[in-house]
Structure 1
């Protein structure tokens, strides 16, 4: 206010009104802030979409998983010469349906596991964003959210995997079978290890699921890189934006990015975690007469087969991981967008 100006009642009222108006946030700004805040739909979308992701993962990946488990547990001197021999022998001796042995529990279990994993992942991301969806997380923070999701889902994954793997490792047919089905396995584990017998392998599962840090951290890295690329009319069909060969305004479709990034992230995850996965599976499927503790199973595998023992069955796992997880993450991201009614997630 001008020092020489003599205030009047009218000017004072006008100044007060102007001050109040200036102090009030604009309607547009408040609406924009509300748009960025997480809603209940944001919190449940990941859980709901996870069911669809889990069913996809089972259909695409279970045959690969059966071959992987059998190769891992049988070892280099077991009944199979390698992944291909395992596949051929299994189909020849037990029929094609044998590739889906133990699938009834994962059909429910993987749907629930993916719902828990991906739902908790979404909520850990929101927690790191402080419920502000406009806040961009770093690659490291995406990894932390993945780590939290891995530990959370371990509670569900342990009983599912304990039952699934024991059925997958059952070669006997008919009356010679040790387990008649999933419920029979659960009864046996409860009788052998107590009330929480189906969670007997929880520490091993949590160790393996810790590598979800690399899965979701690398997924963000690959997604960001793929978004920087544009389509091309000639090989290799994908080039850096700004290249003379790039098609103008033709970034890669978001769904294609989800698929490719999901597959590459899964390959990264298995490359890092595979030795721990071998030890976990050996620990969870070993005989129950004189079981080896999880921490000593690393030494047992090394003494039995050396370094190569930590990578038996790696090839089917690596091959399986791309189509299985690429499809599952594609379905999850697409379903999340559908639930949120967003064109972009």
Structure 2
């Protein structure tokens, strides 16, 4: 995580620290961002003119609790997702430093490590993301009675492999976000004054700032992939038919052609408001937990 690597902790400690960090980020703005992403405006259907209009109409027409429809999947997902993110980033960082024969992290290695960690993380989150998207989309939510019912019906009607619909777009989404996140963390930390030894306040300030900027940068990079991922995962596979949204980059072209470039950033504001400060909190909690484990082990 840092540009000057400390003695590595065993994988289980990295995983546990990431899991705690992930759970800590859950309360940060778990609003209904996917309502803006799952499809284009349909004549005669509900149309949202931005984040606040979306919130207003959902609360008015469907009730406040609808804002958190599908929340069980992301809650269950956060611990393994963030645990995998940080543990994989530390493990891949050590691997790449050894591979290229360097002792310290560099900007290029920080970005490469983050991208590889993102690819690793994607394999963990795809089924959870699929369930979340199906529950959050108003058009399909009525088909399901909770998270387990989504899994049961998808497997029954679309086959077991359908649980990994959208894997390719999810890979791109996480590669881009993590590359931007960890790459920015390295760069911002390098520009900030080094914390004085033992000064936890300065370390927390630096981590909060670096993580928040990294979260914003990652969100700017990956939102188009997030939009098309939502479209792909919300499409029911029909035998003999090629889905309109199937592969990530062609889907981006389709959205741009039919709806304009701005459609690729639907849901950006609520997402960046969550993942900006959320990225800072993730880094602060992860770093704090790793320091705690090192003290516990008398390091």
TM-score by length of 1: 0.74
Deviation at 1:210, TM superposition (A): 1.5
Counterpart position of 2:34: 69
Whether the aligned pair in 1 keeps the contact of 2:134 and 2:140 (CA below 8 Å) is no
List per-residue Cα deviations over 1:261-302 (Å, max 9, x = no partner).
111001111112222221111111134445222243223212
User: Partners of 2:295 and 2:26 in 1: how far apart?
Assistant: 26
Q: 98, 102, 110: which is aligned to 1:130?
A: 98
User: Which 5+ residue runs of structure 2 have no aligned equivalent?
Assistant: none
Whether the aligned pair in 1 keeps the contact of 2:111 and 2:180 (CA below 8 Å) is yes
Counterpart position of 1:235: none
Asked if 1:223 corresponds to 2:185, the answer is: no
List per-residue Cα deviations over 1:57-114 (Å, max 9, x = no partner).
2221322xx2x21112243565212110111222233333222221112212111111
Counterpart position of 2:150: 185
Asked if 1:259 corresponds to 2:225, the answer is: no
Counterpart position of 1:278: 227
> Which stretch has the larger CA shift, 183-192 or 91-100?
91-100
Q: 280, 283, 286: which is aligned to 1:326?
A: 280
> Which stretch has the larger CA shift, 160-169 or 206-215?
206-215
User: Partners of 1:307 and 1:141 in 2: how far apart?
Assistant: 31
Counterpart position of 1:29: none
Deviation at 1:251, TM superposition (A): 10
The 3 A distance-change label for structure 1 pair 282 and 340 is same
User: Which 5+ residue runs of structure 1 have no aligned equivalent?
Assistant: 1-34, 231-249
The 3 A distance-change label for structure 1 pair 71 and 89 is same
Which stretches of structure 1, 4 residues or longer, exceed 6 Å deviation after superposition?
none
The 3 A distance-change label for structure 1 pair 89 and 76 is same
List per-residue Cα deviations over 1:25-69 (Å, max 9, x = no partner).
xxxxxxxxxx9654xx34322200111111122221322xx2x21
The 3 A distance-change label for structure 1 pair 56 and 95 is farther
Whether the aligned pair in 2 keeps the contact of 1:51 and 1:115 (CA below 8 Å) is yes
Whether the aligned pair in 2 keeps the contact of 1:74 and 1:80 (CA below 8 Å) is no
TM-score by length of 2: 0.85
Question: Once superposed, what is the RMSD of the aligned Cα atoms?
Answer: 2.8
